[in-house]
Structure 1
Amino acid sequence: MVVIHHVHTHWVRFVLALVVLVCFSVSTHAAELDDYSVFIGGFTAFQNQDYRGAASKMSQFLKEYPATPLRDMALFWLARAHFRLGEKREAARYMALFLKENPDTPLRNAAEPELIALARSYDEQGESFVVRADEKPVAEAQDQKTIVAAAPAARAVADQARTEQLSTGKPSVPVSVATSEKIDSSREVPALTMKERAINEYRSVQEKFPGTKAASIAAERLRELHVGTPASDSTLGRVAESPRGGKAANVVTLEVGQFAAADLSVRPLKESSEAGVKISIPFEVVNRGNGTDSFVLEEGFPEEFNARIAAAGHPEISLASTPQLAPGESFSAIVDLTVPAAIIDGQRSAYPVRLVSKFDRDHSLSKEISLVFSAPLLRMVVRPDKEIVLPGEAITYRMALLNVGSAAAKKISFSLSYPAQYEPVEPLPAGFRRDGTSRLAVAEMEVGSGGRKEFTVAFRLKDEALAGQELFCRAELHNSALQLSEAFLSSAAMVGKVSGVAVRIQNESRTVLPGERVVIPVSVINTGNFRENITIKTSIPSSIRYAMYRNGGSGVTQTDELVTGSISSLSPREVVSLKIELFTPAGVADTSETSFTVTFEPESDRSKSTTASVHLVFSRPVVTLEMEAKSGRLKPGEIAHLVLSAVNNGSSMAKDVEVTSYLPVRIEVVASEPAAVDGQKGEHIWRFSELGPGEKRSIVLAYRIKPGVAAGTNLQIENRFRYKDQLGNSY
């Protein structure tokens, strides 16, 4: 197995990105600075290999900020710090807690496998968990013991084979075998290398000394190591008679069988592999068999890598197998691939490269290619400057765009979608533009590794926003270079409660007739942003009878719901129509005035009350009859004139004005202007349908005393009048 080593800090950047993201979600600016600085201090200490300092700061952080959104990160680093200090029980306890609270976290793959195993044991055993010093899995220990012991055993078998060959005097078969290095069992050798060397030694014995006891022992050892024995089809030749010196001789003919063997080596990459970039991974195949062979080449990369195998000298041509290789001949090839755009910065992955002998399909060999990936790791934090916003207020959103990945982010843009309750404050900040309805867009930019860009935009909350609504802004990042998008949601801003009431009244000042029934329409509006009860208070003179109704029509006869003192459960922006029914007193004088008020109060905040005033001016007709006539003595037959004038001195029109003159029988009417319209037995009546305010209508009556009336007789002419107002009231 080939393990390619890379710097272990790339995935740390990924974790740091998550850390920075949640750091911005603290409720106040001061708190954000505090807990961010404590946490980053612990994180920096871990990176600087000050594990004791890291454990101390993370413990302090968890103690001072138990409800922080950074809790998962703190547990993760605290567990790893204790593990690096050798304090495995504490490490297991904190890691078990971390995994329990975050079962789906991707950071599970970033922790040490032994630490994850300790955490699982702690989770199973609880407080009774005990760490056993230098404990290794049984299977691993036995496998290590077998492999390490195999190397000297293989050497012993080889020595025994040579001794047996020398004692028998049989010539060895001329096969080229590479000399193996001596293995010092006293020093620590990687298990994989020891196993390969043991296998090579055993196979070498089988190839060099076929048919001997040593070859049988080597085959048995290979089976113990779970390795198949290469085909050794040594065929016993024919026994032929060959004349020599006139005598017959028996000759044994041997044929060496071919076996398949190969070496596969992968050259490690010195740098991390960047997302979206094409890379080539070189590897080499060596034919270690004893005959010409070709090997099928396969790679195990996922489909999104678009991987293919090509010859190192001709990378443009894909191939599925090596050319025919002579024993000991090598072939250089590459795995050409494109790192997926969606790869995570710091991600570590291993994928196999495999070869299969065309001569012996049972012989295959695979090596893993370990890769560490780098990518831009973008996080966007969107925070409002207040948690509660009232209608009409301005709210500012601060946005921070961070790249905590190990690769630069190119061709980055973002759009900010905002709720319909917001209206952007003009002018927009530099770089922002409107992009359709309820969305702002920002032009492309580049953010280097570790770079940060900040933006600020303000909105005004519309008046119709309802209380209790949670408002979110959504930032969507677009990486045009990698064709990736990612969305980030802001923290919530809550619409606060606002109480208010408005009143619209028709004809706040109106003229009425005495005794008139007056209906005043009133519209009441809940200008608050939540459901509210409205209290009604009136100040109306006691001489005026009134009632209040809630209705939706405009009929004169009230059949609607009577309102006694409040309007219940009025929705935001709801308008309710009321009618105030008044009955004015009949005996009030013309042009007299009176006023009254109606106050509407929201129950939740009585200081937001609204008062409607109504001013009443009473108007009625006031008609007088003026008379001009010659007084004194009048002789019989002498004509005299009487002028009657009806004058409306009131402020309202008089209707059906009727003037009546009663003349004694000794007086006769000669003529009148206008002529009387009715009358009998000395009664003369004049009628006027209307008499406007200040209007005067005159009647001229010519009369004379009839002959034969005795001197000294007293005669009187009596005049009367009556009229009505516009309501039909008679005066």
Structure 2
Amino acid sequence: MFSLLLLPLFTPVVFSAEKDDSALFFQAHDLMEKRQAEKAIPIFEAVLEKYPESKIRDLALFWLGRAYLETKQTDKSREALSQLEKDFPESPLRTKLRRMIVSKEAALARAEKREAEKREREAKEAAAKAASRPKAAAKKTPPAAAKEALSEEKMPAPPRSASTRPAEGFLLVIPQVAEVKVEPAADEKRGYPGEDVEFPVVITNRGNGEDSFTLDSTFPIEFRPTFYAEGGAGETIQTTPTLQPDQSFRARLRVHLPSNMTDNQNKVFEIKVASRFDRNSFQWVRKTVVASAPLLLGEYRSDKERARPGEEVRYTIVLINNGSSEARDVRVRYAYHPSLVFLSASPQPERVESAGRAIYWNLSGINSKGNEKIEVAFKVGDETAAGQQVLNRGTYLASVGGEVPFLSPPVSVMQVASLRLEGAKEEQRVVSGDQVFFPFTLTNLGNGPDQFALKAAGAPSDRLTLYFDKNQDGLFQSGEPAITETPLLGTRENFPVLVGVKVPVGRDGERLDIRLDAQSRHDGKAIATASRALLLSLPMVAIQSQLLSRDNLPGGVISYQATVTNNGSGLARNVIVSELLPPELEFVHADPEPTEKEGKRWIWKMNDLGPQQKRTFAVSVRIRKGLPAGTTVQKQTEIFYQDLHGNRYP
């Protein structure tokens, strides 16, 4: 004789009573608990037929197989097992159902054998009784025989003496029946991921003999399920001590919640308590663990969407804990863009890695439904390219849960126009009419491509021309084009410019400031100017006469000295001094001798006369006789010269 107690079995699947498949399944399951397997079978079959994609299909197949066993339909139970093995080859329910089928088939075979032995025994006993009765001498009539038989059946046989027959009677041996009760049948515990929770388990021996019970659970290994005796030394146990009928044993199941469980995530598992006397006598009880964890969400803001190089940008990170428990040991890593320069942060970071461009915070905790705000200030680098999208990346990680990456809002870098003009600053001495070229270099200092308008000033416009210095040698070459603007220049790109100047006529020492102006096409306010000073270096030749002796009587000789001086800063070339005497005078002598003599005109020629250089001539003339008194006599002196460029003076 045996007793089989059917109790619920579940795998770690979360059910919802609102779903039709779950509702049908529990309806059939409740019938199994009431030992109404015949009524449960069509409901389990309906779950499998109507919901072929159900998440509890493996459970439905398992319990359908059990229901078939309860109704002694082992062949159909094996069909359910085959379908379970086909659809769920990794399910642990396959092994459980297979063992139950084998056990049931063995039990049915034993029962059939006992029934056959019982029928054989009863047949032998009937034959023995028939042989022990005395044979009748004569054949009785049917009524008489029936009456006699009835009389013998109703009336006890007369007692036999002990000396003539053995004692009669029977012996009954009450078999042990195993039964167990586990409480509570179902309960739920909440815990923080990464920590332990404990379930109390009360096991009562409801069988009619002493028994002990094995403890097992469907908790996966990552939950580290451990049984131990309540009030004991905490040692792990797998079986209860031997219990007398109606004796109870209090145990506890310790379960470790994996740290990756999310807030309000629940897992449903079962504990199996089985009799060691009869393995087919067991009970499953349901246990549910619910994670009470933090749930961090982030909000990310910047104080501007567009920024110029050199401007300050502030970023805000708000971490919100929407979970049911405190977020402990929150660590934040913020990696900022290479074009940003870190200025400050609040709260104070744990550390700042400038080389790695990363900032770290270690926040002590964020309460449930609370938040933590982090503010970081940066400066946009001066050379950050226009149009660049500045993105900062980061991660945050609490004591439970995985690392969560995030991105800050993008900030677009605006184009800023800037330029620089460079050229030699020293003065250059020039002569009127010279054609000179001054090299300048324009550099685009803006953070984006730009084009620049060019204009020269400081002299009449018809004497100024701008050229592109192709070979960048600072010298004008034939074929180099005249320009009024640059091509499109990239950031930090240089452009060589030649300013050509036809030096106008001016005075010696006169200063000309030749200026080159450049203006950005992108932003007209971005202007740069460079200049080069020209100093006119011209000759200024003058002549002075001084009387050395004077005899102004008719026939007398007058001597004078003529000094030619270059008072200018430039070289005087081809200097010519011309003395024309009036008729009243005639030349006597000159030192040096004139270069040329043309009647009354004496001419002296000099090749060069440097700045501040002088030349002296001594001349003697005679007054013609017979001049009337009161006659006015005046000689005429002229001077001619050229500069280095061949310009003639006066």
Please tell me the TM-score bracket, short chain as reference: 0.5 to 0.7
Matched, 1:465 2:384: yes
SS state at 2:28 partner: helix
Deviations 1:157-210 (A, max 9, x none): xxxxxxxxxxxxxxxxxxxxxxxxxxxxxxxxxxx9xx99xx99x99xxxxxxx
Asked whether 1:572 is paired with 2:491, we answer yes
Q: Which residue in the other structure is 1:182 paired with?
A: none
Match of 1:449 in 2: 368
Q: Please report the TM-score for the alignment, with normalisation by the length of structure 2.
A: 0.63
1:390 matched to 2:390? The reply is: no
Residue 345 of structure 1 aligns to a residue in which SS? coil
Aligned residues of 1:2 and 1:265 also touching (Cα < 8 A): no
Tell me the CA shift for residue 262 of structure 1: 4.3
Shift in Å at residue 345 of structure 1? 1.3
Match of 2:322 among 404, 407, 414: 404
3-state DSSP of counterpart to 1:316:
coil
Alpha-carbon distance between aligned partners in 1 of 2:244 and 2:462, rounded to the nearest angstrom: 126
Closer/same/farther in 2, CA of residues 153 and 390 from structure 1, 3 Å limit: closer
Deviation at 1:454, TM superposition (A): 3.0
* Cα distance in structure 1, aligned partners of 2:229 and 2:311: 68
1:359-415 CA-to-partner distances (Å, cap 9, x unmatched) read: 666776544421111112223322112222233333332332322221123333534
Q: How many equivalent pairs are there?
A: 532
What whole-Å deviation, never above 9, does each CA across 1:103-151 have from its counterpart, x for those lacking one? xxxxxx9996747xxxxxxxxxxxxxxxxxxx77896498369648854
1:431 partnered with 2:348: yes
Match of 2:502 in 1: 583
Q: Which amino acid aligns with 1:386?
A: K
- One-letter code of the match for 2:571? A
C-alpha contact (below 8 Å) 2:420/2:444 kept by paired residues: yes
Equivalent-residue separation in structure 1 for 2:195 and 2:488 (angstroms)? 64
1:622 aligns with 2:540: yes
Residue from 553, 566, 571 that aligns with 1:654: 571
Residues 415, 640 of structure 1: alpha-carbon distance in 2 compared, 3 angstrom cutoff: farther
State the alpha-carbon separation in 2 of the partners of residues 343 and 138 from structure 1: 27
Q: 1:554 to 1:248 in 2, by over 3 A?
A: same
CA contact (8 A) 2:545 2:562 kept: yes
Question: 1:517–1:717: structure 2 CA closer, same or farther, 3 Å change rule?
Answer: closer
Report the AA paired with residue 263 of structure 2: D
Residue in structure 2 matched with residue 338 of structure 1 by the alignment: 256
SS in structure 2 of the partner of residue 407 of structure 1? coil
CA-CA distance at 1:491 after TM superposition: 1.9
* C-alpha deviation, 1:640, in angstroms: 9.5
Q: Hey, what does 1:273 align to over in structure 2?
A: 191
Amino acid at match of 1:339: L
Task: Give the distance between the partners of 2:319 and 2:441, measured in 1 at CA.
Answer: 51
2:477: which partner in 1? 558
1:523–1:145 CA distance, 2 compared to 1 (3 A): same
The 1:399–1:294 alpha-carbon spacing in structure 2 relative to 1, beyond 3 Å, is same
Aligned to 2:131: none
* Cα 1:145/1:222, change in 2 over 3 Å: farther
Q: In the TM superposition, what whole-angstrom CA distance separates every residue of 1:563-611 from its partner, at most 9, and x where no partner exists?
A: 53332322234332322222334x4443456566655443344454556
Residues 1:344 and 1:624: Cα distance change in structure 2 (over 3 Å):
same
Q: Is the 8 A contact 1:629 1:643 kept in 2?
A: yes
Kept in 2, the 8 Å contact 1:3–1:370? The answer is: no
- Please say which of residues 319-328 and 626-635 is displaced more in the overlay: 626-635
Greater Cα shift, 660-669 or 331-340: 660-669
Q: Deviations over 1:74-110 (max 9, x none)?
A: xxxxxxxxxxxxxxxxxxxxxxxxxxxxxxxxxxx99
Counterpart of 1:373 in structure 2 is: 291
Contact 1:643–1:698, Cα closer than 8 Å, also in 2: no
Distance 1:718 1:541, change over 3 A: closer
Q: Distance in 1 between matches of 2:490 and 2:294?
A: 50
Q: How do 1:170-189 and structure 2 match up within 5 A?
A: none
**Cα deviation, residue 272, structure 1:** 1.8
- How much does 1:435 deviate? 0.8
**Does residue 1:697 correspond to 2:582, yes or no?**
no
Residues 594 and 308 of structure 1: is their aligned pair in 2 closer, same or farther, counting only changes over 3 Å?
Answer: same
Q: 2:302 is aligned with what amino acid?
A: P
Distance 1:617 1:345, change over 3 A: same
Is residue 347 of structure 1 aligned with residue 272 of structure 2?
no
Distance 2:492 2:420 in 1: 10
- 1:597-612 equivalences under 5 Å are 598-610=516-528
Deviation at 1:544, TM superposition (A): 0.4
Instruction: Kindly name which structure, 1 or 2, has the bigger radius of gyration based on alpha carbons.
Output: 2
The verdict on how the C-alpha distance between 1:623 and 1:409 changes in structure 2, with shifts beyond 3 A counting, is: same
In 1, are the aligned partners of 2:17 and 2:23 still within 8 Å (CA)?
no
2 CA distance for matches of 1:529 and 1:465? 6
> Which stretch has the larger CA shift, 485-494 or 358-367?
358-367
Within-5 A mapping of 1:138-287: 140=25, 143=28, 147=32, 150-151=35-36, 245-247=163-165, 262-265=180-183, 272-286=190-204
Q: Provide the rounded CA distance (Å) in 2 between the counterparts of 1:467 and 1:304.
A: 53
Q: How large is the RMSD of aligned CA atoms in angstroms?
A: 5.6
Unpaired segments of 5 or more residues in structure 2?
Answer: 1-6, 40-58, 81-96, 126-160, 581-585, 627-632
1:547 maps to a residue whose letter is L
Give per-residue Cα distances to partners, 1:200-230, cap 9 Å, x unaligned: 9x99xxxxxxxxxxxxx97569998997576
Q: 1:219 to 1:292 in 2, by over 3 A?
A: farther
| Alpha carbons 1:526, 1:572 under 8 Å: kept | yes
Question: Quick one: structure 1 residues 386 and 112, their matched pair in 2 at CA, closer, same or farther if it must change by over 3 Å?
Answer: farther
For structure 1, which runs of at least 5 residues remain unmatched after alignment?
A: 5-108, 116-134, 155-191, 204-216
Per-residue deviation, 1:336: 2.0
Which residue of the partner structure matches residue 207 of structure 1?
Answer: none
Q: Is this contact kept in 1: 2:189–2:197, CA < 8 A?
A: no
Residues 711, 380 of structure 1: alpha-carbon distance in 2 compared, 3 angstrom cutoff: same
Q: 5 Å matches for 1:52-91?
A: none
Note the 1:539-554 alignment, pairs <5 A.
Answer: 541-551=460-470, 553-554=472-473
Conserved? CA contact 1:625–1:721, under 8 Å: no
Residues 381 and 401, structure 1, Cα contact 8 Å, conserved in 2:
yes
SS at match of 1:143: helix
Q: Which amino acid aligns with 1:530?
A: G
Post-superposition offset of 1:273: 0.8
Look up the SS of the partner of 1:568 in the other structure. coil
Superimposed CA distance per residue, residues 684-719 of structure 1 (whole angstroms, 9 cap, x where no aligned partner): 98777x733xx2434476x899xxxx999x9x9999
Instruction: Tell me the distance in 2 between the aligned counterparts of 1:223 and 1:251.
Output: 44
TM-score under structure 1 length normalisation? 0.57
Change (3 A) 1:324 1:434: closer
CA deviation after TM superposition for structure 1 residue 271, in Å: 5.1
- Are residues 1:493 and 2:378 paired? no
Q: Is the 2:194–2:258 Cα contact (8 Å) retained in structure 1?
A: yes
The question of whether the paired residues in 2 share the 8 Å contact of 1:550 and 1:563 is answered with: no
CA distance in 2, matches of 1:148, 1:350: 19
Question: Is the Cα contact below 8 Å between 2:577 and 2:603 reproduced in 1?
Answer: yes
Q: Give yes or no for contact 2:8–2:283 (8 Å, CA) kept in 1.
A: no
Distance 2:636 2:171 in 1: 179
Distance 2:639 2:297 in 1: 100
